[in-house]
């Protein structure tokens, strides 16, 4: 019978994925669940996310995961006194280049298959929706009115609140020093102060620290810590508070309103990565060794972005936000067990999409643990799909960084 020291499930990591998994597992009868978090809930990578929530993704399984997140947000809002702070402002995707226009057509087709509204609109209508844009007549524009963005910390706390209400216990300010293994099975964790928690299942949802933990039991997670970053301008009256998210595949960029100003992100065309073995215990205040203030990235992408967003010349930049995202070489996530090792499941490597996929990942992992048929196919997320790898090798780390540089979907 489970006891405080012998839970059924130990989840390592109290970010948005750990809390979402706890929320879904708490709905299963009789499970004893503990979440171990070295800091406070949602304080590390979660709170730094731009948190774009788009329903249509490049693969059917990813779309299903994203749709589940929207469903969870609505469900948790209905169960509370007030709805979650989802800004349902829609997303606007625009492109004047063949590759980007092909992406827009594919998105429209996938939206039709999923029953999601997606409308091709005129350039002038696009600029009315997002007055910070200046688009050429040959630009294609796709409007998805049901997309939005959310405060990621609030969403994380909502997952945690429901889990706590159903009996999930959160061990905060406590770290996991070791995964425990007997034979071919992970049997629990040892905490930093020496306490041992034995468990039937250990879930590694420790974000960029997942790699070092998994290596203790011979599991090599195919992901690397890659920079994600964005800038926020000072408030400007020309930025409407209810303007849409704009996704700009021609520039590898996105933008949306934020506290009266404009938040915009750019992809690094040259890899900016960290050594997974050298990450500090806390990412608050962390800066990458390369281009730590993002100046090189902004200079490199400025001219291209300014061609569609000329207002950039007149905005005063007020904030620069940089943090770690865990990218895989193919942009799919690391979800599920490692063949040959029992008692272990990973939920990490979300390639910049952790907020938008959180509800779907929570449901998927809970179905795996409970032995149910999963609502999405597990094949794209298998931990062993890259074969024999070394996630600490610089060549592999740069393969992961290239996946971020190729990303054009916000």
CATH of the domain at 46: 3.50.50.60
**157: containing domain:** 9-50+152-223+330-397
Residue 407: pLDDT above 70? no
Taking the C-alpha atoms of residue 77 and residue 8, their distance in angstroms, rounded to an integer, is: 29
pLDDT band at 1 (very low <50, low <70, confident <90, very high): very low
Instruction: Give the pLDDT of residue 269.
Output: 78
Question: Three-state SS across 255-295?
Answer: EEEECCEEEEEECCCCCCECCHHHCCCCCCCCCCCCCCCCH
pLDDT band at 93 (very low <50, low <70, confident <90, very high): very high
The reply to whether 245 falls in a domain is no
Number of domains composing the chain: 1
Query: Which whole-number Å values give the CA distances from 14 to 75, 208, 230, 400, 403, in the listed order?
Result: 21, 13, 24, 24, 26
152-165 and 60-79 helices, crossing angle to 10°: 70
Instruction: Give the pLDDT of residue 402.
Output: 87
Residue 109: pLDDT above 60? yes
The reply to whether 130 falls in a domain is no
**Arithmetic mean of pLDDT, 30-45:** 96
The reply to whether 361 falls in a domain is yes
pLDDT, one tens digit per residue, over 172-217 is: 999 999 999 999 999 999 999 999 999 999 999 999 999 999 999 9
pTM above 0.85, yes or no: yes
Instruction: Give the pLDDT of residue 270.
Output: 79
pLDDT band at 83 (very low <50, low <70, confident <90, very high): confident
Instruction: Give the pLDDT of residue 81.
Output: 78
Residue 145: pLDDT above 90? yes
pLDDT, one tens digit per residue, over 390-399 is: 999 999 999 9
The reply to whether 370 falls in a domain is yes
The reply to whether 209 falls in a domain is yes
81-120 burial code (b ≥16 CB/10 A, e <16): eeebebbebbbbbbbbeeebbebbeebbebbeebebebee
Residue 286: pLDDT above 60? yes
Instruction: Give the pLDDT of residue 405.
Output: 72
The reply to whether 58 falls in a domain is no
The reply to whether 292 falls in a domain is no
The reply to whether 59 falls in a domain is no
Instruction: Give the pLDDT of residue 194.
Output: 96
Residue 80: pLDDT above 50? yes
Query: Which whole-number Å values give the CA distances from 202 to 17, 78, 189, 344, in the listed order?
Result: 14, 31, 8, 5
pLDDT band at 4 (very low <50, low <70, confident <90, very high): low
Q: Mean of the per-residue pLDDT values for the chain?
A: 95
pLDDT band at 60 (very low <50, low <70, confident <90, very high): very high
């Amino acid at each position: 019978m489970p006891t405080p020291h012998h839970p059924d499930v130990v989840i390592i990591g109290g970010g948005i994925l750990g809390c979402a998994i706890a929320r879904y597992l708490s709905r299963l009868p009789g499970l004893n669940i503990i979440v171990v978090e070295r800091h406070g809930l949602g304080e590390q990578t979660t709170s730094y996310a731009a948190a774009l929530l788009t329903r249509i993704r490049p693969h059917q399984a990813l779309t299903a995961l994203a749709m589940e997140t929207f469903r969870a947000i609505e469900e948790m809002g209905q169960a509370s006194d007030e709805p979650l702070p989802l800004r349902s402002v829609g997303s606007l995707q625009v492109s004047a280049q063949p590759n980007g226009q092909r992406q827009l057509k594919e998105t429209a087709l996938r939206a039709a298959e999923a029953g999601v509204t997606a409308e091709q609109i005129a350039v002038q209508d696009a600029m009315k929706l997002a007055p910070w844009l200046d688009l050429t007549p040959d630009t294609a524009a796709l409007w998805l009115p049901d997309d939005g963005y959310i405060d990621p910390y609030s969403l994380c706390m909502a997952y945690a609140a429901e889990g706590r209400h159903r009996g999930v216990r959160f061990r905060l300010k406590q770290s996991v020093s070791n995964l425990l293994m007997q034979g071919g099975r992970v049997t629990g964790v040892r905490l930093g102060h020496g306490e041992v928690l034995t468990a039937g299942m250990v879930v590694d949802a420790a974000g960029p620290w997942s790699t070092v933990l998994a290596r203790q039991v011979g599991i090599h997670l195919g992901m690397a810590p890659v920079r994600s970053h964005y800038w926020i301008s000072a408030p400007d009256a020309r930025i409407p508070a209810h303007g849409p998210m704009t996704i700009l595949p021609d520039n590898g960029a996105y933008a949306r309103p934020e506290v009266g100003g404009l938040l915009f992100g750019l992809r690094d065309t040259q890899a900016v990565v960290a050594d997974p073995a050298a990450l500090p215990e806390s990412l608050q205040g962390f800066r990458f060794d390369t281009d730590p203030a993002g100046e090189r990235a902004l200079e490199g992408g400025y001219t291209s972005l300014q061609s569609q967003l000329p207002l950039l010349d007149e905005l005063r930049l007020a904030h620069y936000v940089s943090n770690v995202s865990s990218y895989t070489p193919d942009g799919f996530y690391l979800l599920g067990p490692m063949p040959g090792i029992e008692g272990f499941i990973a939920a990490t490597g979300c390639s910049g999409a952790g907020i938008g996929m959180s509800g779907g990942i929570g449901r998927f992992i809970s179905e795996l643990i409970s032995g149910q048929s999963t609502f999405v196919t597990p094949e794209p997320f298998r931990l062993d799909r890259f074969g024999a790898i070394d996630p600490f090798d610089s060549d592999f780390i740069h393969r992961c960084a290239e996946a971020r540089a190729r990303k054009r979907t916000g």
